[in-house]
Amino acid sequence: MKAERWHLSITLVCLLFGALFISNLKTQWQAVNPMAARNKTLVNVIETQEQKNAELESEMTKIRTQIEKHHSINTSKPGLEPVKNELDRLKLMAGQTAVEGPGIVITLDDQEKARTAKDPEFYLIHYSSILYIVNDLRAAKAEAISVNNERIVSTSDIRCAGSIILVNTSRLAPPYEIRAIGNHDQLEAAVRSGEYSTLELGQFPVSLVRNNIITIPDYKGSYSFTYASAPKEGVN
């Protein structure tokens, strides 16, 4: 191929045109959806935070097993037996041990219609339904409650962030499974007289099953009291 004099300039022009064309494409795509880049960074932030949470949780379980080990060494000493028993009792009440026993399992799910309906919020399970049912269970003296394996303790939150339900600040996905340990009849009666029946009448796919052995996991988070402390004797 012989080099003609037009080769150089037209190649340069083609090169510049290619660069300009691609820049234009990029600008246009960005113009179509300026939120995409922002959403991407937000998703990244959430993902890293969740990863950090998981790491911290595993660290906490590690430390807890270490504490457990120290406790078991100390129980051999005489006189510490009542303290150990008291500690175990408090742990059970604070939800820091997995528990099992008879109880009920309630399953809530979104309606199939929610996918196609113009106003899907009428066919979705909202955080308030879970909150009401948990409240009914508490009123019926449930001794341990969990939602999708998140233990409900005294500091637990049940709330929504956008379209996601959070329990103990971790995200839940449908179907929602609420487990409760307690008296079968009492729990079922309390649940059936409240929010559960409303959902049932609204033709949500819900179910309530009695079970003789239910396992409920321990609370993975921590209790931190920064402001509250026990009042000193005689102050009041």
Partner 1 sequence: MWLPFLGLILGILVGQTLTFTLPASFAPYLSVATLATLDSTLGGIKGVVLNKYDGAILITGFFINGSLSAFMVLVGDWIGADLYYVAIFVFGVRIFQNLAIIRREFVSKFMSNHMHKNHPTTHEVQ
Contact segment (CB under 8 A) with partner 1 among 10-18, 108-116, 124-132, 189-197 equals 10-18
- State the minimum distance, in angstroms, from the CB of residue 72 to partner 1: 59
Of the residues 22, 46, 98, 117, which one makes contact with partner 1 according to CB under 8 A: 22
**What is the C-alpha separation between 129 and 200, in angstroms, rounded?**
12
**What string of H, E and C letters represents the secondary structure of the chain?**
CCCCCHHHHHHHHHHHHHHHHHHHHHHHHHHHCHHHHHHHHHHHHHHHHHHHHHHHHHHHHHHHHHHHHHHHHHCCCCCCHHHHHHHHHHHHHHCCCCEEEEEEEEEECCCHHHHCCCCHHHHCCCHHHHHHHHHHHHHCCCCEEEECCEEECCCCCEEEECCEEEECCEEECCCEEEEEECCHHHHHHHHHCCHHHHHHHCCCCCEEEEEEEEEECCCCCCCCCCCCCCCCCCCC
Binding mask 33-72 for partner 1 (x = CB under 8 A): -x--------------------------------------
Residue 229: phi and psi, rounded to 5, are -150, 160
Instruction: Please identify, using beta-carbon distances, which residue of 25 and 80 lies nearer to partner 1.
Output: 25
Q: Is residue 15 close enough to count as binding partner 1 by CB under 8 A?
A: yes
- For partner 1, the closer of residues 18 and 202 by Cβ is 18
| CA angle (51, 54, 59) in 5-degree steps | 130
The least distance separating partner 1 from the CB of residue 33, rounded to whole angstroms, comes to 10
Stretch that binds partner 1, among 2-10, 41-49, 54-62, 64-72 (CB under 8 A): 2-10
**Under the criterion CB under 8 A, does residue 209 sit at the interface with partner 1?**
no
Q: Which stretch binds partner 1 (CB under 8 A): 7-15, 90-98, 142-150, 175-183?
A: 7-15
6 interacts with partner 1 by CB under 8 A: yes
> If binding is defined by CB under 8 A, does position 21 make contact with partner 1?
yes
Q: Which two tokens stand for residue 166?
A: 């959070």
Work out how close the CB of 1 gets to partner 1 at its nearest, in angstroms, rounded to a whole number: 6
Tell me: does residue 225 bind partner 1 (CB under 8 A). no
Paired strand residues for 145: 152, 180
Binding piece for partner 1, criterion CB under 8 A, among 12-20, 103-111, 132-140, 165-173 = 12-20
**Which is closer to partner 1, CB of 15 or CB of 46?**
15
Residues of this chain that interact with partner 1 (CB under 8 A) are: 1, 5-24, 26-28, 30-31, 34
